[in-house]
């Protein structure tokens, strides 16, 4: 006799997206949880009421003599409301997460491959710098615009000069890398802003290499350039966390 095979059910995957079935499952869980907790709460309140009577604290008689049928109706009503609220909030949160995680792929002749996030209304790409390393590039919009692409081309054409300008500014004293023999900055993330500016964060390598005891202590160097690619500011941000 062949054994009946049950269909494979991945619980985690099943709850990654909103559905009527998921709503019902969460509703039942919330309903049963409330049905279990509510009698305990009612019993505790009843004991407190009895204790209040013993110490001659005035308590409405109706609270101490609630009919069993009324108590059951109240518990079922509270459990239903709790289950509905819990399931509805869950479905709304799943829907929000799906919108947040949604991505569409695209390609631009200058920027290359990119992905667009409708939730954030931003696009992200990983173009290659003249150093041969890729960098995380971000900007507003559904994809690279003509203005954004032109700004990126100008940045790449003047990359060495712009990087040297940012480096000189970041190493102007006082700065946290005083005492290093040499420091090399490499862009790790670049943002093209709405007003046409370029903001970037850097990774850096020092000589000696063990200048910092741990990554948690390392500051985060940043630089901003205007739309005309003139240095606007540089800053050493404190360590994250």
Domain limits, the chain? 11-101, 104-237
Across the chain, what does the average pLDDT equal? Answer: 81
How is the beta sheet containing 231-237 ordered, strand by strand?
104-108, 112-117, 122-125, 136-140, 182-192, 198-207, 220-225, 231-237
The pLDDT score that the predictor gives to residue 6 is 34
Quote the pTM value.
Answer: 0.61
14-18, 81-85, 187-191, 235-239 — which one is most confidently predicted on average? 187-191
CA atoms of 195 and 225, how far apart (whole Å): 11
**Predicted local confidence at residue 215, as pLDDT:** 63
Which H, E and C letters describe 191-240, residue by residue?
A: EECCCCCEEEEEEEEEECHHHCCCHHHCCEEEEEECCCCCEEEEEEECCC
Backbone angles phi, psi at 218, to 5 degrees: -75, 130
* CB burial of residue 232 (10 Å; 0-12, 13-18, 19+): middle
User: Tokens in use for 141?
Assistant: 């919009």
pLDDT score at 212: 65
pLDDT in tens, 113-160: 999 998 889 999 999 999 999 999 999 999 999 999 999 999 999 999
From the list 85, 105, 81, 104, the residue with the least C-alpha distance to 93 is: 85
Q: Is pLDDT at 182 greater than 50 in this prediction?
A: yes
DSSP letter string, 69-121: HHHHHHHHHHHHHHHHHHHHHHHHHHHHHHHHH--EEEEETTTEEEEEETTTT
């Amino acid at each position: 006799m062949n054994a009946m095979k049950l269909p494979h059910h991945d619980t985690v995957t099943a709850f990654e997206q909103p559905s009527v079935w998921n709503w019902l499952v969460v509703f039942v869980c919330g309903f049963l949880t409330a049905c279990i907790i509510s009698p305990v709460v009612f019993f505790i309140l009843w004991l407190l009421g009895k204790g209040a009577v013993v110490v001659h604290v005035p308590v409405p008689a109706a609270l101490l003599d609630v009919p069993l049928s009324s108590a059951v109706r109240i518990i079922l009503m509270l459990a239903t409301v709790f289950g509905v609220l819990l399931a509805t909030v869950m479905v709304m949160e799943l829907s929000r997460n799906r919108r947040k995680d949604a991505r569409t792929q695209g390609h631009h002749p200058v920027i290359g491959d990119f992905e667009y996030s409708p939730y954030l209304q931003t696009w992200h790409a990983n173009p290659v710098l003249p150093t041969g390393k890729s960098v995380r590039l971000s900007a507003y919009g559904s994809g690279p615009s003509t203005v954004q692409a032109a700004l990126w081309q100008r940045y790449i054409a003047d990359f060495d000069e712009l990087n040297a300008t940012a480096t000189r500014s970041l190493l102007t004293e006082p700065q946290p890398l005083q005492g290093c023999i040499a420091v090399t900055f490499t862009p790790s993330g670049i943002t093209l802003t709405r007003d046409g500016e370029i903001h970037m964060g850097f990774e850096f390598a020092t000589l000696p290499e063990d200048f910092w005891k741990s990554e948690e202590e390392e500051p985060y160097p940043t630089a901003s350039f205007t739309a005309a690619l003139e240095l606007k500011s540089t800053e050493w941000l404190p360590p994250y966390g």
